Amino acid sequence: MSLRDLTHDAHKAAETQPFVKILFSGNIDPKLYATFLKNQHPCYDILEAYAMLSGVLTGLPDIRRAGKINADFLELWKEEQEPVIVPAVKRYMDHIVSIKDDPKKLMAHVYVRHMGDLAGGQMISKRVPGSGTMYQFEDPDALKAAIRERISDDMVDEAIICFGFATDMFKEMLDVTHE
């Protein structure tokens, strides 16, 4: 079985969350989407920082998303006060710190997050407000192939953990309101 097959149930649990339906609806409020981006940014930022330090991102051109996520956020957010950060973000960041010296575990998170951006993100980008630069890649097919070369079935436990954090964030985003 492939890593994709082994993580199918966890992936399904994440992608069937009501917040994901809002993302795909084409009607997400720009402030809510900006808040989502603000919550995604620290997750990607810490993952990509440790993945770079451990060599996980070497040879994966144009993979880094944190800067693009922040640019998308800044394009949309016009309020003085920063948006709320949901609790799942802190838990995720703490988890990444706990695995920062394990390139294989970091790669499992890169697989879950970045392959999602390369695949489903292409559909999301057409339905969200703003430029959606976080979903724009120079050569998505080559990047997907390069990621696939680096993954293995023994990453399943960590990939499932990553999907769990994504599911938690989607659930917590439903509680975010803007008055």
Q: Give all domains of the chain, ordered by start, each with its CATH number.
A: 3-173 (1.20.910.10)
Banded pLDDT at 178 (limits 50, 70, 90): low
pLDDT digits (tens, 9 = 90+) for 11-63: 999 999 999 999 999 999 999 999 999 999 999 999 999 999 999 999 998 99
Angle between helices 30-53 and 18-25 (to 10 degrees): 110
pLDDT digits (tens, 9 = 90+) for 54-71: 999 999 989 999 999 999
- pTM here? 0.96
Q: What share of the chain is helix, strand, coil (3-state, %, to 5)?
A: 70, 0, 30
- Residue 95 CA, chain-centre distance (Å), reads 15
